[in-house]
Amino acid sequence: MDMITRRDFIKICMSTAVSLTLTEQIIPIVGQAFAEKKVIKPPVIWLELGSCTGNSVSLENAVNPTLDQLLTDMIDLRYHWLFNAEQGDAAVKVMLDTVAKEEGNFWLVIEGSVMTADNGRYNEIFRRNGKLVTGLEAVQEFAPKAKYVISVGDCACFGGPSAAHPNPAGAKGVWDVVKTKVINVPGCPAHPDWMTGTFAHLLMYGEPELDSYNRPIMFFGKTIHELCQRRQQFEDGIFAKYPGDSGCLLKVGCKGPVTHADCPLREWNHYVNWPVKAGTPCIGCASPHFPDGMMPFYNHLPDIQTPAIAMDVKKTGAAIAVLGTGAVATHLAAGVFARRIHKHYLKGTKPGEPTAPENLEQVKQELDDLIRRQNALLSNAKKYDAVKKTRRKKSLLKRIADFWHTEDKSGDEPK
């Protein structure tokens, strides 16, 4: 039997209608590839920098025995301070030998953000010849020698909670401190499937297709909102009033519309639950702007602290943030034009809820606020390549604004 095609492999990764975990499905496929001598087990060094070890714990949630299988049957894990049998100098020697002898061949997996303040002294991760080595130094030394550099979890990818304001340690994502290409597998933590699926793809087919944030599209290609089981309630204007209530959680802070990940399909804790199913809004933990840009967690989207307004915009991702916010506005606009929002949201859905015109005024204010933020985002994102697309969004937003203001002057409601 030949190794399965990349297309079929991606289908497996994206499929959820199965009783086996993704790792359980992948291990035999990888085993087959090994048997055919099409691939060899990659030596892997897993560094933990500024983090809570949540991604390693999440990997353990690839319900056993699959973690053991992953470590023994798929990769050759040479160093991981949590899973090492040896500790101290003996373990460090194995790691340094791997870097020296397997240059261009080993994979560097990084968990946790890189502390950059004071030359990285807030995070020292091992000793070499009696001298403490910082995470910053290790990453900058090892990354150019690795075949692949993979960041797991939001901290390693984008700074994450470790980089939250006021960030005294200068925490940054790995791709901000190395020139080498970094594959980002975000999440707080990353789902075990996102990690094992990415590893298996690298092993058998090389680099997976990535988006502008270097995230594998097979796991991060769609928004939570696109996949959400409560989407129909969003469309119908049935909104939860508090976490735990039934209905779409948008008005209690759900960041699903601007967060790319497949949580609604994949689910967590061995495929039993995920935030919205448990009645709590998505707080955007897989977003490049988590957590600062996703706060306040329980305020709904038009009030979102869109990060590009305040942040130092360095990557094309900023433009994607614009598109994300624009997508919400566009969706809102589509609802207005389709009369759905007029019918359900503006009129209120339950006895006691505000009805037009009070609610209409609130929606107008929210839309104006969104347009104002969109414009601020656009002015920050002008340098980047997606700007043409955002201009198209801008003109659409202007049309929406005109629409509202015309209605405002006339005193009529949309029909």
Which of the choices ligand F3S, ligand SF4, none does residue 377 contact, using the CB cut-off of 5 to 8 A by kind? none
Spatial CB neighbours of 194, under 8 Å, sequence gap ≥ 6: 185, 187, 216, 219, 220
Tokens of 392: 């198209």
With CB under 5 to 8 Å by kind, the binding choice for 234 among ligand SF4, ligand F3S, none is: ligand SF4
In angstroms, the Cα distances linking 165 to 187, 263, 289, 292, 334 are 19, 27, 12, 7, 36
Contact 193, 18 (CB under 8 A): no
- Give the Cα separation of 259 and 304 in Å (integer): 12
Does 331 contact ligand SF4 by CB under 6 A?
no
Report the candidate in 169, 159, 176 with the shortest Cα–Cα distance to residue 307. 159
Q: Does 261 bind ligand F3S (CB under 6 A)?
A: yes
Read off the tokens for 320. 């994607």
Interacting residue with ligand F3S among 114, 163, 285, 346 (CB under 6 A): 285
How many residues does this entry show for the chain? 415
The span of 23-31, 110-118, 250-258, 287-295 binding ligand SF4 (CB under 6 A) equals 250-258
Of 56 and 380, nearer to ligand F3S (C-beta) is 56
User: Two tokens at 37?
Assistant: 């001598």
Q: Under the criterion CB under 6 A, does residue 172 sit at the interface with ligand SF4?
A: no
Stretch that binds ligand F3S, among 124-132, 278-286, 339-347, 377-385 (CB under 6 A): 278-286
Quick check: bond before 166 cis, omega within 30? yes
Q: How far is the CB of 332 from ligand SF4 (least distance, A)?
A: 12
Structure tokens at 245: 């209530």
Nearer to ligand SF4 by C-beta: 144 or 279?
279
Tokens of 327: 């997508």
Give yes or no for residue 263 binding ligand SF4 (CB under 6 A). no
Residue among 175 and 239 whose Cβ is closer to ligand SF4: 239
Q: Which does 378 bind (CB under 5 to 8 A by kind): ligand SF4, ligand F3S, none?
A: none
248 binds, among ligand SF4, ligand F3S, none (CB under 5 to 8 A by kind): ligand SF4
Q: Which range touches ligand F3S (CB under 6 A), out of 18-26, 73-81, 274-282, 364-372? A: 274-282
Q: Number of residues interacting with ligand F3S: please give it, by CB under 6 A.
A: 11
Q: How far apart are CA 210 and CA 192, in angstroms?
A: 18
Question: Does 304 contact ligand F3S by CB under 6 A?
Answer: no
Angular region, 53: left φ>0, alpha ψ -120 to 50, beta rest: left
User: If binding is defined by CB under 6 A, does position 249 make contact with ligand SF4?
Assistant: yes
Q: Is 371 in the site for ligand F3S (CB under 6 A)?
A: no
Give yes or no for a contact between 11 and 116, defined as CB atoms under 8 angstroms apart.
no
Which range binds ligand F3S by CB under 6 A, 147-155, 214-222, 256-264, 300-308?
Answer: 256-264
Q: Find out whether 243 and 170 touch, Cβ atoms under 8 Å.
A: no
Would you give the binding string for ligand F3S spanning residues 204-233, x where CB under 6 A is met? --------------------x---------
DSSP 3-state assignment of 87? Answer: coil
Per CB under 6 A, the list member of 158, 220, 274, 345 interacting with ligand F3S is 274
